[in-house]
Chain A
Amino acid sequence: MSYLLFDMALGLVLIASGGYVVFIVSQKKWVAGVSFWVLAAGFVCHSLFLGLRYVALETLPVLDFKSALSFFSWSIIAAYLALYARFRLRVLGSFAAPLAAVFMILSSAMPWTQGPVKPVFKSLWLTAHAGSMFLGNGLLAVMFLSAVMYLIQERQIKKKLLGSFFKRLPSLATLDSINRQSLVYGFPFLTLGMITGAVYAQNALGSYWRWDPKEVWSLITWLLYAALLHERLVAGWRGRRAAIGSIVCFCALVFTFVGGSLWLGGYHSFRSLGAP
């Protein structure tokens, strides 16, 4: 049942992504409207799937790479839907839905490895820690997308290339505003994830901080985002510089997520998470 829900979610997100791509090319509003509802339906299926998995595992389904990718994809869509409520920006869907779809496809390509879950992971602290991390990551992924869109649009305007991109992409002010909002909302989630993680480590492992590679990289990423937020709010960064900043920060975030989980070892790596 739960796998069927996952497949449905995958299918719906793929259809929605296709629809959003058709929308950005054809500029037909109804296509975006349909895509939005398909995406929302996919999101509901995905949420149900995650709920069932949560009940089955008695913890958040993020303990292997496949699950983590699926959860990341879900958070991107969640972030997009939340920002859509605020900005009503259809064209952002043309970027967010395909990105979410890519993670879903990667996730679906991996085999299900359902090992027993260690008792230590069946903790609300883990749910709080990983949950807020992923929600933050979703928002910061959308922030990254808005930065890419900003740089494309800015280039069109600077170089006076007023073709199809110029027409289809939203205004610089809108993109900058999305970028700012997703940082302002995303960063607290990241912070909350760090704090709950430390508390969880104290409870489960006896110390708040253990210099685990993923911990170190998370701290670096967090500091980068903190610096960006500071520059934006205090030093008045905006536009191009802020956009480049968000792309740099997101690269660090992705490295932390992928590197910390797969290559760098330590107790955050999936190998050690899954090991009985």
Chain B
Amino acid sequence: MSDAFEIINIGMNHRTAPVELRECLAAQEDHEERALRAIRDCDVIREGAYLSTCNRVEAILVTDRAREAERWMLSLMAELGGTPRDTIAPSIYIHKGLDAVEHVFRVAASLDSMVIGEPQILGQVKEAYARATRRRTSGVILNRLMHKAFHVAKRVRTETGICESAVSISYAAVELGRKIFHELEGKKVLLIGAGEMAEVAARHLITAGVDGMWVANRTFERAVEVAGYFQAEAVSLDEIPVVLEKADIVLSSTAATQYVITHDMTRNVLRKRRNRPLFFIDIAVPRDVEPRVNDLENVYVYDIDDLKDVVEYNREQRKAEAAAADRIIREEVLKFDRWLKTLAVVPTIRSLREKAEAIVRSEWKKSDAALAALSPEQREAVRVLTRSIVEKVLNDPILFLKGKAGRETLEGYLDVTRKLFNLDREE
């Protein structure tokens, strides 16, 4: 058995894959279980975990034959997604060795998220790992890797401010909402249009505590569909003025070429609203909300460029934090590398011990007749004697090898050891 294993990571995320593809792979709940079953039954793969969220699908594998494992995993993903291999191949990234370790650390620390610093991903990674342990697809390497990843995530969260500042547009919208409404608990949201951005932002608003949501869309069916997603109420575009009387936050992202929200429409509802503040988040291009609406009292309109400015502003502040996070990741990857290298010594040491053990056993057998005359106590004494001689002889070479773990010269020393003791059973 060869011990030249490799850690590989195969997957796609919001940056590499279009949303339609991610939807195919992320939608079904039993995907993860099916993937893990397949991983367990696969000969090429020693250990594996499978992570699937709305913005990413990835497998972390420990394998002896990386090339084959890659191909196999790609086919599995294509099969799960019900799409041909060629369709998903361009959207897939593959990391190997320390790059894979770094990637896993970054994912767990939420540095690779669409909304950097968002807290859910760590829970999802933990969940994926728990599933892998339940299915027994996780082993020595993966256990260590995942626990380290959780540790890294914790360090990044506590030692850097990266999770605190708004870095995505939707997060910025939530932060602005808080500056207007103080808290979003109990606030009501009207979603106009139902694109991907809108969904992400809506999910953020829900996490922030809004309750009550309407979804308006050009095609009513789609409105119903999205409304079902957020347990919201579907309304038609004509009903918008009525809903405006009740909503606090309006998130608009239609493909309409004309203004969906006009100055007159908004002015007319203000009186009925008794001047409660109204916050428009317009992430559509071209814009859905007439810019003049911002001139109305207690009405605040932020379009996509305004929000980008907010994000940009925060990004400036975030640079230093990102550098700190990178440093933590690099540090931990190095530590993990050191551990992996000590692992390289283990098989040789094990073979050494096994060989010695085999010699003791066979010699003992040969002398069995001669030792038969001894009393049980004497036989025991001889057994202890032989063992301790073997132990003492092996002790120094083993210590020497352990000491070389992680050094560049290790490979040579291991080679010499295996030859010297003829561990690879050459004639």
Contact = CB atoms under 8 A, between A and B. Distances in A.
A266 interface: no
A53 interface: no
B300 A157 contact: yes
B178 interface: yes
B182 A238 contact: no
A162 interface: yes
A203 interface: no
B396 to A, nearest CB: 58
B180 A157 contact: yes
Given A157-B300, A160-B302, A171-B182, A239 B277 contact: yes
A162 B309 contact: yes
A157 B176 contact: yes
Contact of B180 (A163, A171, A237): A171
Contact of B275 (A162, A166, A241): A241
Interface string B264-305: 000000000011110000000000000000100110101000
A157 to B, nearest CB: 6
A98 B276 CA distance: 32
Majority secondary structure, A binding face = helix
Nearest to B307: A160
Interface in A157-190: 157-158, 160, 162-163, 166, 170-174, 177
Contacts of B277: 172-173, 239
Contacts of A172: 179-182, 277
Given A157-B176, A171-B181, A173-B180, A240 B298 contact: yes
Nearest to A157: B300
B179 A236 contact: no
A171 B300 CA distance: 13
B179 A153 contact: yes
A171 B309 CA distance: 20
B167 to A, nearest CB: 14
Contacts of B357: none
Interface string B169-195: 000000010111111000000000000
A157 B179 contact: yes
Contacts of A166: 179
B5 to A, nearest CB: 50
Contacts of B274: 236, 238
Per CB-CB distance, the 7 closest pairs between chain A and chain B, nearest first, are A236-B274, A173-B182, A171-B182, A239-B298, A174-B182, A238-B275, A160-B306
23 contacts: A157-B176, A157-B179, A158-B300, A160-B302, A160-B306, A162-B310, A171-B178, A171-B181, A171-B182, A172-B182, A173-B180, A173-B183, A173-B277, A174-B182, A177-B182, A236-B274, A238-B274, A238-B275, A238-B298, A239-B277, A239-B297, A240-B297, A241-B297
